[in-house]
């Protein structure tokens, strides 16, 4: 049997083109859905020793581990929240609040990672609000491109002159300010905060942490002994009302406080996510290195949103769209 003549280059290309045109089109794998994480830190999670002035005494998560962790969670954009300067004053609880009450690093650390991974990481600006020149420090980093003032976690009254100066600064630069609410420790006076929401309508506020989440329940108002309440939620709490009544108030879903607020009462979780689907923002605020459910509250919170969101559109709002709009990405 004679062998067929070998194809020349022109015949080969003509045949290959015809085969491609006659075959079903090959579809590329769909791109992963984007997720914005509004709450992460550098050098997070190292042990400290109170007897040594809250000195860090062991390794925390490295920058490389942070990047790997965020990628493992499928995060496409991460906002890094710096600590303020190290001080030993009443507003830092005599040093306890240094490093955001852990070992987190400050503005330069967050800026450096944002420069190294442009687009994948962005940064906030921060300082101790009653420190000399705090507003100037924060404004310096806002001018460098910071997208938020955060994380404000200091022992001050929520309506103090120093905090109001930051509220004005946030409005001037059109960036949100994220506040860690913890009765007895940080940002005191949650039951009065409605006055600030009304006074500064051009400032977008983001609530976070124990007292913010405890107050989805009407029975928990500024109670330092009930930072992680359990059981069924009594409807009508301050947080529910603030989110409903003030267009400039948003909620950060991050950390154990956010996760537990929904686990304690799944029925109310579904209702809460449905009611406030346009006001809630995904954040992780976890210090682990692996990004696996057994140790990572951030990945568990993604699962909770997907489980209890009323529909796919609401899920996408909380994981991406709300933050994209608020931060103007």
Query: What is the tens place of the pLDDT at every residue in 38-63?
Result: 999 999 999 999 999 999 999 999 99
- Quick check: is 3 in a domain? no
- Whether the predicted pLDDT of 94 surpasses 80: yes
The overall longest dimension of the chain from CA atoms, in Å, is: 97
pLDDT band at 31 (very low <50, low <70, confident <90, very high): low
Q: What is the percent of the chain where pLDDT is above 90?
A: 84
Dist. CA 186–CA 227, nearest whole Å? 12
pLDDT band at 257 (very low <50, low <70, confident <90, very high): very high
Dist. CA 135–CA 44, nearest whole Å? 25
Distinct helix (H) and strand (E) counts, the chain: 14, 10
Q: Provide the domain limits for residue 38.
A: 31-327
If DSSP states are collapsed to H, E and C, what string results for 166-178?
A: HHHHHHHHCCCEE
- Quick check: is 301 in a domain? yes
Overall domain count for the chain: 1
- Quick check: is 18 in a domain? no
H helices within the chain, ranges in order? Answer: 9-22, 63-72, 98-101, 107-116, 134-143, 161-173, 194-199, 210-214, 238-245, 255-263, 266-275, 297-308, 312-316, 322-327
Q: What angle do CA 102, 303, 231 make, to 5 degrees?
A: 75
Task: Average the pLDDT over 198-205 and give the result.
Answer: 98
Instruction: Please tell me the predicted confidence (pLDDT) of residue 278.
Output: 98
pLDDT band at 7 (very low <50, low <70, confident <90, very high): very low
Characterize the bridge pairing of strands 55-56 and 36-40. Answer: unpaired
Tokens of 11: 């015949």
pLDDT digits 0-9 by tens, 209-243: 999 999 999 987 777 778 998 899 998 999 999 99
- Quick check: is 22 in a domain? no
- Whether the predicted pLDDT of 29 surpasses 70: no
- Quick check: is 203 in a domain? yes
Q: What angle do CA 136, 283, 295 make, to 5 degrees?
A: 125
- Quick check: is 126 in a domain? yes
- Quick check: is 16 in a domain? no
Question: The CATH number of the domain where 50 resides is what?
Answer: 3.20.20.140
- Quick check: is 13 in a domain? no
Instruction: Please tell me the predicted confidence (pLDDT) of residue 321.
Output: 98
């Amino acid at each position: 049997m004679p062998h067929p003549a070998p194809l020349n280059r022109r015949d080969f290309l003509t045949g290959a083109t015809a085969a491609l045109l006659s075959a079903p089109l090959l579809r590329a794998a769909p791109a992963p859905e984007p997720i914005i994480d509004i709450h992460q830190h550098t050098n997070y999670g190292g042990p400290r020793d109170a007897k040594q002035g809250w000195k860090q005494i062991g390794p925390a998560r490295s920058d490389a581990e942070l990047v790997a962790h965020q990628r493992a969670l499928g995060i496409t954009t991460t906002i890094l929240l710096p600590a303020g300067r190290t001080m030993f004053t009443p507003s830092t609880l005599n040093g306890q609040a240094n490093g955001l009450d852990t070992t987190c690093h400050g503005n330069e650390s967050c800026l450096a990672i944002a420069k190294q991974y442009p687009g994948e990481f962005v940064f906030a600006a921060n300082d101790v609000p009653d420190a000399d020149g705090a507003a100037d420090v924060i404004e310096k980093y806002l001018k460098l491109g910071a997208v938020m003032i955060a994380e404000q976690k200091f022992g001050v009254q929520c309506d103090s002159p120093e905090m109001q100066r930051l509220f004005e600064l946030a409005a001037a630069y059109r960036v949100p300010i994220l506040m860690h609410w913890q009765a007895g420790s940080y940002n005191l006076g949650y039951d009065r905060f409605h006055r600030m929401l009304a006074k500064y309508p051009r400032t977008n506020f983001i609530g976070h942490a124990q007292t913010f989440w405890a107050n989805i329940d009407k029975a928990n108002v500024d109670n330092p002994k009930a930072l992680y309440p359990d059981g069924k939620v009594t409807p009508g709490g301050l947080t529910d009302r603030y989110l409903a009544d003030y267009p400039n108030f948003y909620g950060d879903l991050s950390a154990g406080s956010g996760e537990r607020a929904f686990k304690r009462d799944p029925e109310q979780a579904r209702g809460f996510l449905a009611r406030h689907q346009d006001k809630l923002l995904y954040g992780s605020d976890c210090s682990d290195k692996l990004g696996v459910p057994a140790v990572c509250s951030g990945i568990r919170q993604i699962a909770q949103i997907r489980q209890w969101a009323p529909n796919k559109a609401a899920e996408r709002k909380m994981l991406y769209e709300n933050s994209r709009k608020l931060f103007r990405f």
